[in-house]
Amino acid sequence: MAKAVAFTGVSNSGKTTLIEKISQKLSKELRVCIIKNDPKDKAVFDTQGKDSHKFFESGADVVVVSSTRTTLFSHQSMELEGVIRMLGDFDLLLVEGLKMLPLPRICVARDTFHAEYLGFSEALAVDESLDKKDLPKDIDILDLNDVDMVIKWIEKNAKEI
């Protein structure tokens, strides 16, 4: 059974770096998948003028297959369950953003802490830029720079999906 955990926090708080470090470490033993939210729809995954881009611009959903990867370009938004089915077998799902998903969540904070993220977070990963005495006492506090500590929290708290 696969497990999932989510990460939230303001832009440039360190979410992507933390997820990347976790994935690099755990991908040696587990099949790790990552879903990243793009709320402003600004991510670009294809090159203008290439065949796959032309196909997508024609209105079609496009799948590009090679010996090392499969890439899907779709005009449709998918619910989490659909994405999970599409991914197939995996061990751990790391979700960046999508704060309304009912998953155990680590709020990442660096330089500044935004209390509005606490309502849907079970842990807070911070670095030395924040004074720990100013942080809430009723939430797990993790060291943002200690990936092993964060992984232990994930192993204990990730939700089976």
How many structural domains does the chain have?
1
Tell me whether residue 47 is in a domain. no
* Per-residue pLDDT, 23: 98
**Statement: residue 41 has pLDDT above 80:** no
The domain that holds 31 is classified in CATH as 3.40.50.300
What is the pLDDT averaged over residues 46-58?
88
Provide the pLDDT confidence category of residue 40 given band limits of 50, 70 and 90.
confident
pLDDT at 38: 78
Question: At residue 45, does pLDDT exceed 80?
Answer: no
Full residue range of the structural domain in which residue 99 is found? 3-38+89-160
Q: Is the pLDDT of residue 96 over 90?
A: yes
Q: CA-to-CA distance for 45 and 144, rounded, in angstroms?
A: 29
Read off the pTM.
Answer: 0.88
Confirm whether 53 is domain-assigned: no
Q: Report if residue 29 sits inside a domain.
A: yes
pLDDT reading at 127 higher than 90: yes
What's the confidence (pLDDT) of residue 153? Answer: 98
pLDDT band at residue 25 using 50, 70 and 90 as cut-offs:
very high
